Amino acid sequence: MQADLNRDDPVGLEIFKHLFASVAEEMGVVLRKSSFSPNIKERRDFSCAIFDVAGQMIAQAAHIPVHLGSMPLSVAAAVKHFKTSLEPGDVILLNDPYQGGTHLSDLTMVSPVFYQNEQIGFVASRAHHADVGGMTPGSMPVSQEIYQEGLIIPPVKLMAQGQMNQAVLDIILANVRTPQERLGDLKAQLAANARGTLRFVELVSRYGLEEISQRMSALLAYTEYMTRNLLAKLPDGNYRFCDALDNDGVSRQPVPICVRVTVLGDQAEVDFSGSAVQQKGSVNAVLAITLSAVYYVFRCLIGLDVPNNAGCLAPIRVIAPEGCVVNAVRPAPVAGGNVETSQRIVDVLFGALAQAAPHLVPAASQGSMNNVTIGGWDQRKNQPFAYYETIGGGMGGRPGKPGPAALHSHMTNTLNTPVEALEFAYPLRVLCYAVRTGSGGAGAFAGGDGIRRDMQMLVNVQVTLLSERRVIQPYGLAGGAPGATGENVLIRNGIETLLPGKGSFQLEGGDVLSIRTPGGGGWGKPD
């Protein structure tokens, strides 16, 4: 079947958009159903995507936004490392943030796809593993160098021509606290990549390599066209905005992030010059994270159901000076850059673009993933455990609509760990899980409320918190009030003690950790 393959073939374009996306979606189903850890099986903290032979992302499933613009750098790192030595059955594993990764907990697998001995593209899966070693259970510490955060894996072949590299696998499992769980999750990723490879080959077998290649090019061109169309509708100009992280976890000083968005015709420049230098604490973001945030924001403004692919960034130039907090260099710690700094980058971008498109941009959402890691010895199972959770909050009010309450927003798209699954898997008990009423900012369209989640420790544990908006409120827009800041509270023998936003603490059996997340900012002046 041959057809007109340009933008004047909307039916064909739509069909192939969904065909390519379905490959990534099916990979995600396999990964979720095969995984061991609640973090992947229940929270769905993973992403899957397919790429053309040049490493351009063609389609990503509707998984985690923070992975949108960063996974192509993982593919690029794999290609650069192995160059011409890729063969059918190879699977490259990596997590090094300075070689295509994001933070060490995100393990990425890249598989080259071959058809009749010719390489036709790649499939990739990325999953957040609940522990990859390091100084604290859960591998999300308030660290001061990346070596404290866990096992660093440069691009390496976990499988070569279909055969497991047992030595590499043994090294990984010897450096984590929960090796059985890690093995199960790694095998789930392998299964996902195998399914993606199979479906990719089936598409080429059915339609032919020439048509598949043309359809990929057409989809990239379509997304670029739609992004340029968005930019052309925005008024030309320079739009500036600054916000800040509460602190880096080492000092108490705020960490400014500033942006200047320049729109000229159907192009844009996003310049982060003037942002803070990279920090001692683990809030630094590598460039992959910053690109993901830029991708996400502009993808949101397009609004239509355009493909998630590399075309979105084609008309956008990103400037992020090396050594700043949004483009850190080795050996800066980065555990929180992926989860917290990414959210603040989104906040400053939306703050700037609200000046150009006030009818499209919401007030600030909660601005944190409220990361909680808890680890210790599970006496019931006589083995160590490592639990990781991100907790939702309020979304900002929008022109014409209030912000929803109690959900994940912006760079995170995970679910929660259901209470039943959490209590079954870990020596923890959930005492309270409720909407934090009144935490959203007032406005003509109020911000959404945050969440309160109280967990009682049933054994002695080590808790690590990486959270934001505990000092600086989520901003309102158009006269709306800011959302309430979050709180982390230790309840011991009925006495409440306020904990900092970032830190690691020893808790005793019977202690209660109460996480109270921020609300979203309001939009418009209250009545």
Alpha helix ranges (H) inside 5-104: 10-34, 38-41, 71-82
Q: State yes or no: pLDDT of 497 exceeds 50.
A: yes
**Dihedral angle at the C-alpha atoms of 258, 260, 261, 265, nearest 10 degrees?**
-170
**441-464, pLDDT tens digit by residue?**
999 999 999 999 999 999 999 999
In the DSSP assignment, the letter for residue 407 is B
For strands 91-94 and 156-160, give the pairing. Answer: antiparallel
CB 424 within 8 A of CB 46: no
Q: What is the pLDDT of residue 5?
A: 44
Residues in contact with 111: Cβ distance below 8 Å, sequence separation at least 6, in sequence order: 90, 91, 92, 122, 123, 124, 193, 194, 196, 197
Residue range 68-119, pLDDT digits in tens: 678 889 999 999 999 778 999 999 999 999 998 999 999 999 999 999 999 9
Token code pair at residue 256 = 């400014």
What's the angle, vertex CA 268, arms to CA 53 and CA 303, rounded to 5? 75
The closest alpha carbon to 43, from 384, 514, 414, 347, belongs to: 414
- Give residue 8's pLDDT: 65
Please give the full DSSP string across 88-103, using - where no structure is assigned: TT-EEEE--GGGT-SS
Other Cβ atoms within 10 Å of 494 Cβ, number:
6
Flag the least confident range among 62-76, 405-419, 512-526: 62-76
First and final C-alpha spacing in the chain: 60
pLDDT at 495 over 50: yes
| Four-point Cα dihedral 396, 338, 99, 332, nearest 10 | 130
Helix H or strand E encompassing 476: none
Residue 304: what pLDDT?
73
Three-state SS for 331? coil
pLDDT band at 500 (very low <50, low <70, confident <90, very high): very high
Mean pLDDT of 324-345: 97
Q: Average of pLDDT values for 34-58?
A: 94
Long-range contacts of 401-404 (CB under 8 A, 24+ apart): 401/445, 402/440, 402/445, 402/446, 402/447, 402/448, 403/362, 403/363, 403/365, 403/440, 403/445, 403/446, 403/447, 403/448, 403/520, 403/521, 403/522, 403/523, 404/448
176 CB-near residues (< 8 Å, 6+ apart): 129, 131, 132, 133, 151, 182
β-bridge mates for residue 117, sequence order: none
Per-residue pLDDT, 377: 97
Structure pTM? 0.95
Length of the chain: 527
- Return the closest-CA partner of residue 152 out of 167, 166, 136, 171: 171
- Lowest mean pLDDT: which of 56-65, 455-464, 475-484, 517-526? 56-65
Can you give the pLDDT at residue 68? 66
**Given the DSSP bridges, would you call strands 316-319 and 267-271 parallel, antiparallel or unpaired?**
parallel
Place of tokens 């979050």: 486
